[in-house]
């Protein structure tokens, strides 16, 4: 049986405060406001539609012209396959089946194929159960697909550390995700990373991290740890 979305009882001011709080956290943890997740929502408020996914509450909020118009229950990725935190755009829409409930909205995440879709396992909606995509009940996903156009901004949040989610994990070669993406952007600004940010910790980022740590007397291992984060200007939000 489909469970009723609890956040339908929430007032619009509370949800707007959540959006504002997330932007504030982005600006504090990323002080230069350099990341797309920090700048995206502000611009998205000018768009006809804007989607805000809060994985702390497993809720998807749909805004139209700055006003909350719909709230849907959803679910995100498991701990081992987290959802891509940040602000993205819907770049394609389709009517896939085979596990996607007949609805697919792709996001422009550079390190993998992620999107918003339905599911043939509706009992998993409301829990961290996916491989990183945003799951919805089939009828909700279909309604959303018909409403929002290509290019709609989608902000996905979890935890209090912006792109880093619940905490700053130690990063090394082979890791992928929003936190890797953020580190690539920051090291690019600092003149160490010359590649295109793609959220993948490969040889290029390893070399950049190594040179950055050597210049800051942090050793030479190509691992991003707590001291490296601090040297790059990332600080926990307290």
Proportion of the chain above pLDDT 70, given as a percent: 78
Q: Averaged over 205-221, what is the pLDDT?
A: 97
Of the pLDDT bands very low, low, confident and very high (cuts 50, 70, 90), residue 7 is very low
1 belongs to a structural domain: no
Same domain for 180 and 227, yes or no, is: yes
Same domain for 185 and 157, yes or no, is: no
198 belongs to a structural domain: yes
CATH number of domain containing 126 = 2.40.440.10
Same domain for 176 and 127, yes or no, is: no
117 belongs to a structural domain: yes
> Which long-range contacts does 186-189 make (Cβ < 8 Å, 24+ apart)?
186/30, 186/34, 186/232, 186/233, 186/234, 187/212, 187/232, 189/32, 189/34
End-to-end CA distance of the chain: 40
237 belongs to a structural domain: no
121 belongs to a structural domain: yes
Q: What is the pLDDT of residue 127?
A: 85
Same domain for 176 and 101, yes or no, is: no
Same domain for 104 and 222, yes or no, is: no
- Domain range for 217 is 168-232
Same domain for 13 and 98, yes or no, is: yes
Same domain for 152 and 196, yes or no, is: no
Whether 117 sits among the annotated catalytic residues: the reply is yes
Split into its structural domains, the chain has a count of 2
CATH number of domain containing 209 = 1.10.101.10
Whether 133 sits among the annotated catalytic residues: the reply is yes
Does residue 67 have a pLDDT over 70? yes
Same domain for 197 and 155, yes or no, is: no
Are residues 111 and 181 in contact, defined by beta-carbon separation less than 8 angstroms?
yes
Q: Where are the alpha helices (DSSP H) in the chain?
A: 12-29, 36-44, 138-147, 178-189, 203-215, 226-232
Tens digits of residue pLDDT in 124-180: 898 888 999 999 999 999 999 999 999 999 999 998 888 888 888 999 999 999 999
């Amino acid at each position: 049986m489909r469970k009723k979305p609890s956040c339908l009882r929430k007032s619009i001011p509370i949800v707007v405060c959540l959006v504002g709080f997330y932007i504030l956290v982005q600006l504090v943890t990323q002080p230069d406001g350099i990341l797309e997740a920090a700048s995206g929502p502000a611009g998205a408020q000018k768009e006809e539609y804007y989607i805000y996914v809060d994985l702390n509450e497993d809720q998807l909020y749909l805004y139209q012209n700055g006003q909350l118009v719909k709230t849907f229950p959803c679910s995100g990725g498991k701990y081992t396959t987290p959802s891509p935190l940040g602000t993205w755009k819907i770049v394609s829409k389709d009517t896939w089946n085979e596990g996607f409930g007949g609805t697919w909205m792709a996001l422009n995440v550079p390190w993998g194929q992620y999107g918003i879709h339905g599911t043939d396992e509706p009992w998993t909606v409301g829990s961290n159960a996916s491989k990183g995509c945003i799951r919805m009940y089939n009828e909700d996903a279909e309604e959303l697909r018909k409403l929002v156009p290509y290019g709609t901004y989608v902000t996905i949040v979890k935890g209090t550390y912006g792109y880093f989610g619940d905490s700053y994990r130690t990063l090394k070669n082979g890791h992928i995700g929003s936190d890797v993406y953020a580190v690539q952007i920051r090291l690019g600004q600092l003149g160490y990373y010359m590649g295109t940010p793609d959220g993948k910790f490969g040889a290029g980022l390893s070399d950049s991290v190594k040179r950055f740590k050597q210049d800051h007397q942090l050793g030479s291992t190509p691992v991003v740890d707590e001291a490296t984060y601090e040297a790059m200007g990332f600080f926990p939000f307290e």
